[in-house]
Amino acid sequence: MINNSSVFKWDRLKQKQLDTQFVNILMQGMNCSQFEAKAIINQVYEVYQPFFDNASAMKPGQMLFEVVAIENSPRKKLSECTMLSVIITLDAGAEDLTIKQEQGVIGLRHHRLQRVCYEAFQQGGLLTVEDIAHRLLNCGERTVCRDIEAFKKQDIILPLRSTVKDMGKSISHRSQIIKEWLRGNEYSEISRTTNHSIDAVANYVDKFKRIVCLAKDNYEIHTIAFMVKLSPSLTQEYYNLYESEKIASHRKEELNDLTKKNN
């Protein structure tokens, strides 16, 4: 029987030996003190650890990409921003081939643009137009800007550094997911078109259903927001969608049945 704790122990010992070797090289080659050498190696771990952690998790067609962390203010200079390593899917294999076959080159570019923006956003980062044009999709900035405008006409605001300041606390991709569901689309289709996991789509729809049911029970918005753990503004936006959007008949029945069950 293999003692797993023993295996981990030897791994730790090997790591310590490598650390000691690196510290000695810094002390001898750069005339650093032991304290300075250890401080340097800690910084190396902090910067490069995401690459080590994610290397085995990446799939074919994916890459690690440096983006601006979402907590940076839009007014902050790019050179002063905190950066973040995220996993971006440049080529999704058969999925991308199907999109190109059905929608052509422009359709594929739109699909990839939306995907990489949401992937970065879901991992806490924001892409820029320059990132997408010059480093990811290999096209002109004007092309990317036209694509962004095309999405806006569909009520889809891509989470980019240049647009996130206009999104506020009410993230537009959530509203788009709810709109798609109200129109009668299924989770799998919504997941594919919005580049969100099925679990994420289900979570957004579940919160939307709860908001509608509570509103029909005459709870006011701030109370509903507290109960579903959302901001009042997003809660209000969800309910506005229920009142303003054209809802597929089977979705109306689903919401009505849910309200009757809760009552």
Domain's final residue, options 122, 138, 165: 165
Residue 13 or residue 227, greater confidence: 227
Class of residue 148 by CB neighbours under 10 A (exposed 0-12, middle 13-18, buried 19+):
buried
Q: Both 149 and 180 in a single domain?
A: no
- 40-49, 71-80, 81-90, 226-235: range with highest mean pLDDT: 81-90
**What range defines the domain where residue 192 resides?**
172-262
pLDDT grade for 116, boundaries at 50, 70 and 90:
very high
Domain's final residue, options 115, 145, 165: 165
pLDDT digits (tens, 9 = 90+) for 181-217: 999 999 888 887 776 778 888 888 999 999 999 998 8
Q: Both 202 and 146 in a single domain?
A: no
Check if the beta carbon of residue 96 is closer than 8 Å to that of residue 111: yes
pLDDT at res. 168? 41
Check if the beta carbon of residue 139 is closer than 8 Å to that of residue 133: yes
> What is the percent of the chain where pLDDT is above 70?
84
Q: Per the confidence metrics, is the pTM higher than 0.85?
A: no
Q: Both 194 and 142 in a single domain?
A: no
